[in-house]
């Protein structure tokens, strides 16, 4: 599905960074950042332009090839890794930041990933996320049709219980990200850190 979505010349979700990331990236300590399900590279390139050492993981080779072109066009270096998040090794005590922007994983896989994520962050490392909530199904402005891949304040609190949230909000906002995220969206936004 994702190879097909990324196969056009245009960038499916645009080349500008996610708005929530753009407004809050400064809360991530300078250093190594892992971007999950990065797709065509817009968020990884943005972070690299702001001095972060970025590793971007995605399961789509088509998306990653476009991401490499975007990085080259912006004169930045990003490490792009083709991998399935179900088996990708996040490491331990490795990342100053981990970013998840609209990463629609089945809940069973997401719970496993979040266990690994909490161990993979360094002390004081920051996790930054924006995801659709199940209320998004009313809007149809992106995010697919499965509530199972969507998240809520409650699911994040439960699944990331080892992190301390400094920001956790559900809201509706106008999402303008390329062709596939266009219109009012029901989202959850989170910033959390590993404090021990």
How much is the pLDDT for 177? 81
Pairing of strands 164-177, 95-101: unpaired
What CATH number did the domain enclosing 37 receive?
3.40.50.150
What pTM was estimated for this model as a whole?
Answer: 0.95
How much is the pLDDT for 7? 67
Per-residue pLDDT of the chain (196 residues; tens, 9 = 90+): 666 775 676 776 768 999 999 999 999 999 999 999 999 999 999 999 999 999 999 999 989 999 999 999 999 999 999 999 999 999 999 999 999 999 999 999 999 999 999 999 999 999 999 999 999 999 878 888 899 999 999 999 999 999 999 999 999 998 888 666 777 999 999 999 999 7
How much is the pLDDT for 141? 83
Number of domains making up the chain: 1
How much is the pLDDT for 142? 81
| Residue 53 domain boundaries | 2-193
| CB-CB neighbours of 80 under 10 Å | 20
Token pair of 44 as six digits: 């990884």
């Amino acid at each position: 599905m994702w190879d097909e979505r990324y196969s056009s010349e245009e960038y499916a979700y645009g080349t500008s960074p996610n708005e929530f990331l753009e407004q809050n990236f400064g809360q991530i300590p300078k250093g190594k950042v892992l971007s999950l399900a990065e797709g065509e590279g817009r968020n990884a390139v943005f972070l690299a332009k702001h001095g972060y050492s970025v590793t971007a993981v995605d399961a789509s080779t088509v998306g990653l090839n476009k991401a490499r072109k975007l990085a080259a066009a912006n004169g930045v270096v990003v490490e792009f890794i083709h991998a399935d998040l179900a088996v990708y090794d996040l490491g331990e005590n490795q990342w100053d930041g981990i970013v998840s922007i609209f990463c629609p994983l089945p809940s069973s896989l997401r719970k496993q990933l979040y266990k690994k994520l909490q161990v993979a962050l360094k002390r004081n490392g920051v996790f930054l996320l924006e995801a659709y909530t199940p209320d998004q199904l009313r809007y149809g402005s992106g995010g697919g049709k499965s509530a199972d891949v969507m998240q809520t304040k409650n699911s994040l609190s439960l699944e990331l219980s080892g992190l301390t949230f400094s920001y956790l909000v559900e809201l509706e906002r106008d999402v303008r990200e390329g062709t596939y995220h266009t219109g009012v969206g029901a989202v959850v936004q989170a910033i959390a850190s590993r404090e021990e």
